[in-house]
Chain A
Amino acid sequence: MHEDRYAAAGGAASRSRRWDSGPQRLEAALSEAHDQERRIRRRRLLGGGVAAVAAAGGLTTWGLASHSDPSSAAAPSASDRPVRGGTLVYLDAESSRSTQPQAAGTWQDSAYLENITDRLVWKDPETGEIQPYIAESWHVSEDATTYTFRIREGVTYSDHTPLDAASVKRNLEWQARGDERNGIQPSTEWPRPTTITSEGSTVTVRLRAPYNDFLDVLSGWGASLVADRTINAPLETQQQITGIIGSGPFVVESEKYGERIVFARRTGYDWAPPGLRQQGEALLERVEVHAVTDDTTRLGTLRSGEADAIRYIQPADERNLADEDGFQVLAAQGIGATNQWHLRQSIPALQDVRVRRALQVGIDRKTLLSDLYTDNWSVARSVVTEDTVGFVDQEERLAFDPDTANGLLDEAGYDERDDEGYRTKDGERLSLVTVIDVYDATAKPLYQLVQSQLKELGVQLILRDADYSQVSEAYAAPDVAMVRSGWPYPAPWATLRTIWETSRTDDFAIEGGDPALDELLADQATAKGERARASALADLQEYVVANAYTIPLLKDSQIFAAKNDVNGLSWSAEARPLFYSTWLDRP
């Protein structure tokens, strides 16, 4: 998608790999061969090292190979041997806006951060498992409130200052508390209050209560570890990619506002997550990122050979390019929340659960996908993606069922129709307002199709265009009945809690709040043990879906296109492109 949206932190301490969880699961996955992503994962399971979606031409991904998956350790064939060196020209769909880690969230900025910094822990993009990274090991106390991390030796930031336990302590305090003087906000996903201490090569974090999302929070771009010089700098410096001094496999070599950022390989980099196949320095010498906002220009530049890879192409172009020789279309679906519409119960009509349920089953997700998108997209089966910890399939509740929808609306009293065919109750039309997502170039047709589907039910959906600069006002308008939300997040449950909880952003706007929901949100965060948490998460999902607080629509896909000789392009767990193991198969 072509957007500039904010996503944030949240997730799970440890989880079993989705496809490893049993033969039934595997069977189910294999049967859904139309799903591109799954098709590739299947290939991976069957013994290949291929982990990315390649609609045209095979793409070998090294970066995603997980140490928990011994099958991917097979030796590469000669032509697959990575080549060192070269410059990758990558065209992004938007220019950098703000790279201040705690506040960053645009697709582009979070991706740049992840390429130039390291985090305390690594989230395996395939399994969602939390693995060692800068913390070479950690220990969680019996009562799940004390985390002790052992910090890897010999790690340095690109300004040659050490990334040691003292530096980690300072970073964590900064993430937890922000820095009011410099205009830095705390990370919204951090539990408060906390005490952080360091001793020798260990850092200890004490939480007041258990917080199951904690390690996931530490795996995200918002938890990027940076040098003192960055922490000491004012907000304005931290908002520039040149102001971020990290320890990652790339460093910022130069930048020209609005045009390009040049990342250079960090010499001496030797602390990649041990779970990655690629170790040591990055393969590419440079990555040249150009912000090319115009979709036609971006694709034209790729086709002309001047660019090696681009982010975001429109669904129609996706199909055309996939048929051409020399290019591959790649889709990345991250772990996190699914794209969904939150219903605001401040709107009287939506206070009736029957109306909400009717909307939920009255939208035909499969038609949305087949009419507007490609095989690289899939429908949402819950409020989170299948690979998120605790996912429970809600497809039965969400399946398209116009008869039930019509019955529920009749029952709710909207049984009369006006001249235009819309349902009315006591002479008042069932009419709802929503704001078209301004950040997403594909949003308008999606909203219009939903509008026409709801019209079939006799529900009027009024689409409001918002100005880019007035998004927050447009969403906050009191007559807006639903807002779009949900993308890959490092700690999905923590983020959903921030968005849903009455005392925080309160997206469902339930009058007087919903103590039951707040309790479920709190329970899953503090539940002790994997089984207890899984059950708490199952309850939570069932609760918000059965009560139709939200309408899960589809799973977000990040679409990339690249020349065929671009290899090893990989993605973080949140579908941000990582260039660490990327290489160019050219002389």
Chain B
Amino acid sequence: MLARTRYVLTRILQALLVVAVTYVLTYWVLFALPGDPVKNRLDNPQNPVPPDQARAIIEYYNLDEPAITQFAITVGRLLHGDLGYSLGTGRAVSDLVLQGLGSTVVLALVALVVAAVIAAVVGTLAVFAPWEAVRRLARLVPGLSLATPSFLIGLFLLQIFSYQLGWVSALKTEGASTVVLPAITLGISVSPAITQVLIQGLTEASGRPFVKVLRSRGLSGGAIVGRHVFRNGSIPALTLLALTIADLIAGSVIVESVFNRAGLGYVTEQAVRSQDGPIVLAVVLLASSLYTLINLATDLLYPVIDPRIGIAEPPGRPARRTPAPVSARAAADAPEPASASASASASASASAEGA
């Protein structure tokens, strides 16, 4: 238990460090890059503001201060929970991020479910379908969806379900029905990696000796696949599912633009396009926090799915430097768990079902 607490604490500290380093790096990059929305507005060739009038605006934003002073001001505000205001639109960054997050989290969660369903269906078909042709066809799906740009899928769905059939609105963004098309689009675009890994995991797991043992005990094919093979074969896919959070955030940029949703992706796109520092920093802060958090959660989830994976705690000595999940992943990825005999593995996974 102690090891577990230590482990979790260390991981949280690591996560904080990752977030802080990312923040500083982003700040530095934004500062090093030329251009910002305020100067773009003042120097705009269409409506240039003469230098004497521009000075007051530059001072208003502290843009005349040296980099280190500006950084101190920004971090000082951040520590007070103040994310500042957009340089381009004057909106409170916290409002933008909250609005964006509310919209994108729903979209991302539904998209994740879509991706998981696609992966499960395609994976099962690709490995267990009794017909060779279906198996081959299913194995083509990940490559195909990877090769199709998501804006194309989005426009295609809009064309059919919104413009032609009129089932869903292309403009409204509230209500359950409005999330379906964007979620399918985003789900399809993030599903290939998960499907591919699941196909491989299932192929390997189904070839392992414990399957023979289970079969010899008289379990039905469905039970073997559903209760044992799937469980064994899904660990790498789960890891990937967590990594998919990055894909979801990145993918939302395009999907939200096509479906006219002002979620986090849209906010990010607008901010990056105009190099709106305060928003970019807030989004980076949020995304890096989310990413590290979800990965932490996944690592803690492994033992729940596969009891063979645990936080290593050798008797008499608290775990010091064993990054347990790494070895757990190695164990799960290994075709033959080195420490466990085939039958032990089989019974371990058989007993896991009761857990």
Contacts and interface: CB of A to CB of B under 8 A. Distances in A.
A binds B: yes
Interface of A: 5-8, 89, 91, 95-98, 100, 103, 105, 178, 180, 183, 185-186, 188, 235-240, 256-260, 290-294, 296-297, 300-301, 303-307, 467-473, 475-476, 483-485, 487, 495, 498-499, 504-505, 507
Interface in B240-267: 257-262, 266-267
A265 B35 CA distance: 40
B57 A5 contact: no
B343 interface: no
Given A300-B170, A469-B35, 14 more contacts: A8-B47, A91-B171, A97-B88, A98-B90, A183-B57, A185-B53, A256-B99, A290-B260, A292-B260, A293-B257, A294-B257, A301-B171, A303-B163, A306-B171
Contacts of B61: 183
Q: Which 8 A-B pairs have the closest CB atoms?
A: A258-B262, A239-B90, A469-B275, A183-B60, A6-B47, A472-B43, A470-B35, A236-B90
Interface residues of B, number: 57
Nearest to A473: B34
A9 to B, nearest CB: 9
Contact of A97 (B89, B92, B158): B89
A484 B56 contact: no
* Residue in B46, B262, B275 with the greatest tally of chain A CB atoms within 10 Å: B46
Contacts of A297: 155, 158, 170, 258-260
B302 to A, nearest CB: 39
A296 B157 CA distance: 13
Contact of A304 (B50, B166, B259, B266): B166
Most buried by A among B45, B49, B53, B275: B45
B162 interface: yes
B53 A239 contact: no
A293 B91 CA distance: 20
A311 B259 CA distance: 18
A240 B91 contact: yes
B45 A188 contact: no
A498 B130 CA distance: 77
Nearest to B37: A469
Interface of B: 33-37, 39-50, 53-54, 56-57, 60-61, 85, 88-92, 95-96, 99, 151, 155, 158-159, 162-164, 166, 169-171, 173, 257-262, 266-267, 270, 272-275
B257 A472 contact: no
Given A6-B46, A294-B257, A257 B91 contact: yes
A258 B270 contact: yes
B47 A476 contact: no
Contacts of B162: 300-301, 304, 306
A92 to B, nearest CB: 11
A154 B173 CA distance: 40
Contacts of A476: 43
A165 B169 CA distance: 47
A473 B43 CA distance: 9
B35 A473 contact: yes
Contact of A306 (B169, B173, B262): B169
Contact of B262 (A256, A469, A498): A256
11 contacts: A8-B46, A97-B88, A105-B47, A180-B60, A240-B89, A296-B155, A305-B166, A472-B35, A472-B40, A484-B45, A487-B46
Contacts of A467: 35
Nearest to A435: B45
A185 B158 contact: no
A185 B54 contact: yes
Nearest to B273: A468
A469 B89 contact: no
